[in-house]
Amino acid sequence: MKTIIIGAGASGLFLASLLKKDYLILEHNSQIGAKIKISGGGKCNITNKFVSEKNYYGNQEFVKEILKNFSNKDLLSWLKKNNLEVNLLKENQYFFKNSDVLLDFFKKNVKNIRLNTEVLEVKEDLSVVTDKGVFKAQNVVVASGGLSFKKLGASGIGYEIAKSFSHSVTPLKPALVGLTVQPSESWFKNLSGISVFAKVKVGRKIFRQNVLFSHRGITGPAILNASLWWDRGKITIDFLNKEVFSYLKNPNKQISTQLPLPKRFIKEFLKAVGVEDKRVKFLKKEEKEKLKLLNSYEFAPAGTFGFERAEVTKGGVLTQELDLNMQSKFRKNLYFAGEVVDVTGELGGYNFQWAFSSAYAIYRSLV
């Protein structure tokens, strides 16, 4: 056996399908690709029309190099070559008709898999210890993913293996996840179910997408993206995308009749900032100031909805300790692919793109 791959997820399966022979995947689930199956609402958002290192949290110079050798265009050509049809939907995102298109391909083309086999440890000589015995190969690829969605098989084994070979693992946090709010934003919770197209700013990143209020706090694509770049500190939301007074042009009409926002949102917002819904001409100066908050509502999230709701894990094996083949600089023949590495993409197919591009770098080095 030349190569053992730990994990039958996106990166491990793709690598195996490229290698074709001399590999063995060890997977503790009873099925392959559990995350692929449910991803993208069951349609698996595989990549994006526009992919650059700027879409990734982590070492962007490193990401740029890895993407160079297997870009979104390369991924799309690979899909086409294998008759795996994708459609461009939403904001430049590529989806399958359903995730089974990709899963069925892997089921057909990746045969050397041992399911129900839990990897426990990798020894110094690269022997892989599992609950079903010890496996030995020349190369070991850790493709065991991150911590989010434990119920789908997520585990911290990849990080443990990395640490046992003296690798640094950067702090692990839930990302692409909803945010919980402080008591000052409890009005968000009264808006549960309402969605608003907004401009969300976190640090230097801006996302123009929907925000969705929920009983736990705030979520929706713009917030999921913001959670990737948020560490501590504030997030700013422009709920209107145009200056508030450009809407409040008629002095004889009430505020709520002139703003292009759901009535329930306006009612709760006005209550939260202490302004009555009245005719615009009766607004006092300080009330006008408060209305400007609709363009720049700042809040400090209390936390996130946690790993169980997060699409990905931010943080992981430090890229500075890997070469451009995704190989450990400390132990030759030990590789890391996909989410276990300290590279996390935004919402929109960037994480599968990373899983595939990083696996491709390993493939090139192994053949």
Residues that bind ligand FAD (CB under 6 A): 6-12, 26-29, 34-35, 38-40, 44-45, 118-119, 143-145, 148-149, 153, 155, 157, 311-312, 338-340, 349-352, 355
Nearer to ligand FAD, 86 or 270 (CB): 86
Cα-based torsion angle of the residue sequence 183, 188, 190, 191 in order, rounded to the nearest 10 degrees: 180
Nearer to ligand FAD, 18 or 294 (CB): 18
Q: How far is the CB of 195 from ligand FAD (least distance, A)?
A: 19
Helices (H), 133-200: 157-164, 186-189
Q: Concatenate the DSSP letters of all residues of 201-225 into one string.
A: EETTEEEEEEEEEETTEEESHHHHH
Nearer to ligand FAD, 16 or 240 (CB): 16
Half-sphere CA count of 31, side-chain side, radius 13 A: 12
Q: How far is the CB of 5 from ligand FAD (least distance, A)?
A: 9
Contacts of 45 (CB under 8 A, 6+ apart): 39, 93, 94, 95, 348, 349, 352
Tokens describing residue 118: 């839990």
Nearer to ligand FAD, 159 or 230 (CB): 159
Q: Determine the residue type at 314.
A: K
Q: How far is the CB of 181 from ligand FAD (least distance, A)?
A: 22
Q: How far is the CB of 310 from ligand FAD (least distance, A)?
A: 7
Half-sphere CA count of 159, side-chain side, radius 13 A: 17
Q: Give the C-alpha separation, 234 to 232, whole Å.
A: 7
Shortest Cβ contact with ligand FAD: which residue? 9
Nearer to ligand FAD, 185 or 342 (CB): 342
Rounded to 5 degrees, φ, ψ at 267 are -60, -50
Q: How far is the CB of 214 from ligand FAD (least distance, A)?
A: 16
Nearer to ligand FAD, 72 or 180 (CB): 72
Q: How far is the CB of 31 from ligand FAD (least distance, A)?
A: 8
Tokens describing residue 145: 């993913």
Question: What DSSP character marks residue 23?
Answer: E
Q: Which residue has the tokens 């931010």?
A: 314
